[in-house]
Structure 1
Amino acid sequence: MFVRKQFSFKINDTPTIHSKSYNCVKKKIIVLHLFFQGLFFVSYNVFSQDSTQSNHNQQYVSLTGYGSTANTPFWMRTNQYATVPVTSGLMIRGGSKNLFPIAQTPHLKAGYGIDLVANMSANSQVILPELYGKVQFKKWEFYIGRKRETVGLCDTLLGSGSYIWSGNALPIPKIQLAIVDFLPLTFTKNLISFKGSYAHGWFGSGDFAYGYFLHQKSFYARIGKPSSQLKLYGGFNHQVQWGGKTYGDIGTVNNRTLPGSFRDYISVVTGFRNKGNSYFDSTNRIGNHLGTIDVGAEFEFRRMSLSVYRQSLFDDGSLARKEANNVADGLQGIVLTFLYPERKKGQFSLKKALFELLYTKSQGGSTFDFEGGIFGRDNYFNHQQYFDGWSYKQRIIGTPFITNYRDTNNSDDYNSNEIANNNRVVVYHFGFEGYYGAKLHFLSKLSYSLNYGTYGFPYESVPKQFSGLFQVDGQIGLWEGLEWNAAIALDQGQLYTNTFGGKIGIRKTWSGKK
């Protein structure tokens, strides 16, 4: 067992300022969405190929059993959109996706998606991680609802999870207009292309606040044609929690009301300051701003490709300052992909290997002094107004290595005053994907982390943690689309309860094209 050094801090009371109404903001927000509609995008995986050129429909049903010596191991439950039970149990899952042409043009399509999960365990529950409707025109897409996504430049299959939006939490309901695949600029002879989207979402009710919103946008560009051997990527994503009310009195909030007017929304979108409702608002920005600035490259050779990427973190303007004082923090990765793995009987063949380093220790240093111009102590995924932090339904939205106090070992010994009780971490992560023979597919994730707590509540010791997963799947020859899968996983260390677990499941998929 290890304990925290004792630190204390005080949030100063603020003078009363007349609070603003935000009841009429919704209609104006939609108008502003349309104005910005072509500018930004949410990245599912920047390295992915065009997925809009075929009409398809798919239905699926699956049955999976989970068992473990304690809680479900880390890599079996994280980055699964909060669908996997925390304890041993049975999961029944079913869903449908469809995309079909409308009117007389093949370019205009409509679609929907639904995914329903029923978990039977010590805490049985029914979850709806996906329910949306969409309209698509060529590479443009508008959708409303809840949809599984990740945000940022990274490998989504083998990686540790995108820093800002990893798929660890239940998807947030939102409306979004996006360019879903890279759109080439013809005047550059298709050498430069871009994606973009703009979204508004609803957090609903948390533990400390309710009725608050999500603002989300991003923009990514690619230099290089799809057939080029070298492609360069760059862009950013920007998320803001804003508006709403708090259940109780907070020193940084006046009259339990957070800024939510249309003027405040302009400040949310642009990142410019205004006086807001309190002294805290006037000396910071309206809402909780966070995101990443990403760069990457992809090199394709005759039989393999090499991808590298870097996500640089910002939290309430940390990278925008001239000092860029948290520049050491970020997620960097390298991925080697074998384009033509040999799948010979009785032999292993490697398809992909990945290494990532996640570093979040700096946070601009341990000191924050507004008057002195020292802007450290970024305190990732926590906030002094939105005490629920960067979470949704009690799950961290971003990388799962910034931990929720509910998940860590002996949580009474940890800081439970903030949602993210451990946001200064160093993580070494490996991922592998391949085949055994012609039919068996496998993947593995291996992670080792050093954990330092937070600047406000640091750990006296540095708990070390290993988490690993090995998963296999294959076809069952009885019917087309029938698959089996199995996995084992292990947590060993000081941060989580030591546990060993496994799962086994079966899935039937019906798919076709229209």
Structure 2
Amino acid sequence: ARNRIGNHVGTKDFGLDFCYRGWAVKLYWQNFIEDITGVGFRNAMDGIWGISIGQPNQWKLNYEFIHTYTYYVPFEERLALDDYFNNSVYRSGWTYKGYVLGTPLITSPVLLADTLIGRKLTNNRVIAHHAAASYTIGRLSLIVQYIYSRNYGNSEVISTLTSPMIQHNIALQAYITEIFPGLSLKTMIAYDKGELLGNRWGFNLSLSYRVEKLF
């Protein structure tokens, strides 16, 4: 890709909302702009394609298709790949302390055991499916999320990743508001399984208290 010095980024965001008798449907497409291919539509497949349907404040279903793997033919008339979130000038690309400033499916260097902070991103070619469902009843809200991804490394011929690497991620979240006046509880349990990040569990528990009047 022909990156300009400084490498500006952006996105094209299109959406369609439809509401009828308590039902809400949304279709959306977000397309990356990081080099000259993103200015037009030569990388039109790349980005996020999504649909959500539900009844506000009750339940919601959401599906997203994430794609960053488009081949394109630049002015030199040779087949090439976009190199998202990397930069030809700044070695660490679009990261902060080893974490990518954007979608978590572009793997942050700090999460890969064989990659050091400040190194080039080695996994920015991804094809993934994300599904989520939420349900609210009274003060309780539940959210379940699942991601299946195929990870192909980066645009260089030599990569530290074996292509493709399959990864599964699942998370369950629960929110309870007003356990006591002003006090809310949030908890989440998550599981990762696959060749990219390995197998690991995570758990989070937090309490928050809302103060309405200080004086």
Q: 1:297 aligns with which of 16, 31, 35?
A: 16
| Structure 1 counterpart of 2:55 | 338
Return the letter of the residue paired with 2:93. Answer: G
Cα deviations by residue, 1:141-182 (Å, 9 ceiling, x for unpaired): xxxxxxxxxxxxxxxxxxxxxxxxxxxxxxxxxxxxxxxxxx
| Structure 2 counterpart of 1:229 | none
| Structure 2 counterpart of 1:473 | 175
- The 5 Å alignment of 1:382-461 reads 382-408=86-112, 411-412=113-114, 418-435=119-136, 437-456=137-156, 457-458=158-159, 459-461=161-163
| Structure 2 counterpart of 1:462 | 164
- Structure 2 CA distance, aligned partners of 1:453 and 1:416? 17
- Would the alpha carbon gap of residues 291 and 487 (structure 1) be closer, same or farther in structure 2, given more than 3 Å must change? same
SS at match of 1:510: coil
- Structure 1 CA distance, aligned partners of 2:3 and 2:194? 38
Return the letter of the residue paired with 1:380. Answer: Y
Contact 1:426-1:450 at 8 Å conserved across structures:
yes
Cα deviations by residue, 1:375-422 (Å, 9 ceiling, x for unpaired): 8332111111011201123211111101122203xx32x698843210
SS at match of 2:61: strand
Cα deviations by residue, 1:340-373 (Å, 9 ceiling, x for unpaired): 63xxxxxxxxx111000000111526xx6x6x25
**Of Structure 1 and Structure 2, which has the larger fraction of its residues in strand?**
2
Runs of 4+ deviating beyond 6 Å: 414-417
In structure 2, runs of 5+ residues without a counterpart are none
- Structure 1 CA distance, aligned partners of 2:144 and 2:100? 23
- Would the alpha carbon gap of residues 381 and 375 (structure 1) be closer, same or farther in structure 2, given more than 3 Å must change? farther
Contact 1:467-1:489 at 8 Å conserved across structures:
yes
- Structure 1 CA distance, aligned partners of 2:57 and 2:3? 52
TM-score (normalizing by structure 2): 0.87
- Structure 1 CA distance, aligned partners of 2:194 and 2:3? 38
- Structure 2 CA distance, aligned partners of 1:483 and 1:468? 24
Using the TM superposition, give the Cα deviation of residue 284 of structure 1 relative to its aligned residue in structure 2, in angstroms: 5.2
| Structure 2 counterpart of 1:19 | none
Cα deviations by residue, 1:472-512 (Å, 9 ceiling, x for unpaired): 1213543x210112211100111103111212221101237
Contact 2:133-2:143 at 8 Å conserved across structures:
yes
Contact 2:25-2:51 at 8 Å conserved across structures:
yes
- Structure 2 CA distance, aligned partners of 1:442 and 1:503? 15
Please identify the structure whose Cα radius of gyration is greater. 1
| Structure 2 counterpart of 1:356 | 64
| Structure 2 counterpart of 1:309 | 28
- Would the alpha carbon gap of residues 487 and 319 (structure 1) be closer, same or farther in structure 2, given more than 3 Å must change? closer
Q: Count residues in correspondence.
A: 210
- Structure 2 CA distance, aligned partners of 1:417 and 1:498? 25
Return the letter of the residue paired with 1:452. Answer: Y
| Structure 2 counterpart of 1:157 | none
SS at match of 1:503: strand
Contact 2:99-2:110 at 8 Å conserved across structures:
no
Cα deviations by residue, 1:404-460 (Å, 9 ceiling, x for unpaired): 22203xx32x6988432101101100111112x422111122111000001203544
- Would the alpha carbon gap of residues 504 and 319 (structure 1) be closer, same or farther in structure 2, given more than 3 Å must change? closer
- Would the alpha carbon gap of residues 466 and 423 (structure 1) be closer, same or farther in structure 2, given more than 3 Å must change? same
- Would the alpha carbon gap of residues 471 and 445 (structure 1) be closer, same or farther in structure 2, given more than 3 Å must change? same
- Structure 2 CA distance, aligned partners of 1:405 and 1:320? 27
Contact 2:183-2:210 at 8 Å conserved across structures:
yes
Return the letter of the residue paired with 1:335. Answer: S
| Structure 1 counterpart of 2:195 | 494
TM-score (normalizing by structure 1): 0.38
In structure 1, runs of 5+ residues without a counterpart are 1-282, 342-350
Return the letter of the residue paired with 1:498. Answer: N
| Structure 2 counterpart of 1:318 | 37
Contact 2:98-2:109 at 8 Å conserved across structures:
no
Contact 1:289-1:317 at 8 Å conserved across structures:
no
